[in-house]
Structure 1
Amino acid sequence: MSKYLLNKFLYTVDRDPDLVERYRDDPAGTVEWWERTLGPSLLNCHSGEATTWLAFTDEERGALAAHDHVALFALGAHPFLTLTLFIAMFERDHTEPLAYQKRYGELLGHFSLPYPDIAT
């Protein structure tokens, strides 16, 4: 498991409006594509290089594909990265102001200190 790789995915997708839409519409396909093509190039990896930190675990891949911010937080994804990305993807589906942000927080409400380690 690489929290750095997980957070790098969230960060890079959030910074590109086209990737935000692609991830919203085809999460599993976007995760697979990013892990195979964009991720290694962003990390300055040479082709043919293989190490475990250059690949998501099945659990990480599944949480990303499911847009599961609670599971991502438990895996060590930084909550600010998931929040900003998921606001870009899902806030438009809510009519009440801050409805998505409130729901995001409610779903993380069962966590107590100490929180999962989000350091990379």
Structure 2
Amino acid sequence: MSRYLLDKFLYFVDRDPELVERYREDPRGTVDWWEAECANKVLNCHAGEASTWLRFTEEEREALAAHDHVALFALGAHPFLTLTLFIAMFERDHGPLEYQKAFGARLAHFALPYPDIAT
């Protein structure tokens, strides 16, 4: 499991409006494409450096493809990264703060200590 890779995906996609829409409309295709093309690129690197070993686990891939923020939280994805991306994708389908409240309510069953979100 790589919390780093989950957070990198959430951060990367959230910063590009076209990728936000792509992820909203085709989550599995976007996850597969991103893992193949972007996962091993070094963030903010202009020299084309890349690693070769980063891969999602099947559980991570499924949670991302299902837009399952509860499973992502349980896997250690940072809740602020998940929330900002999911607001960009789904807030338009709800009334004011309705999506954010539902997002929090679905996480209400978690008790302290929360899953570790350190990377």
- Map 1:11-50; keep pairs closer than 5 Å: 11-42=11-42, 44-46=49-51, 49=52
Deviation at residue 65 of structure 1 after TM alignment: 0.1
Give the structure 2 partner of residue 111 of structure 1. 110
In structure 1, stretches of 5+ residues that fail to align are none
TM-score between the two structures when normalised by the length of structure 1: 0.92
Aligned equivalents of 2:41, 2:29: Cα separation in 1: 18
- Map 1:75-94; keep pairs closer than 5 Å: 75-94=75-94
- Between Structure 1 and Structure 2, the one with more helix by share is 1
Cα gap change, 1:21/1:42 in structure 2, threshold over 3 Å: closer, same or farther? farther
Supply the AA of the counterpart residue of 2:108: G
- Map 1:35-74; keep pairs closer than 5 Å: 35-42=35-42, 44-46=49-51, 49=52, 51=53, 54-74=54-74
Deviation at residue 97 of structure 1 after TM alignment: 1.0
Aligned equivalents of 2:89, 2:118: Cα separation in 1: 25
Deviation at residue 38 of structure 1 after TM alignment: 1.4
1:63-120 per-position Cα deviation (integer Å, ceiling 9, x unaligned): 00000000000000000000000000000001x2100000000000000000000000
Aligned residue for 1:42, secondary structure, equals coil
In structure 2, stretches of 5+ residues that fail to align are 44-48
List, as ranges, runs of 4+ consecutive aligned residues in structure 1 with deviation greater than 6 Å: none
Deviation at residue 3 of structure 1 after TM alignment: 0.5
User: How well do the aligned residues superpose, as a CA RMSD in angstroms?
Assistant: 1.0
Question: How many percent of aligned residue pairs carry the same amino acid?
Answer: 74
Deviation at residue 41 of structure 1 after TM alignment: 2.0
TM-score between the two structures when normalised by the length of structure 2: 0.92
Supply the AA of the counterpart residue of 2:3: K
Say how many residue pairs are matched: 114
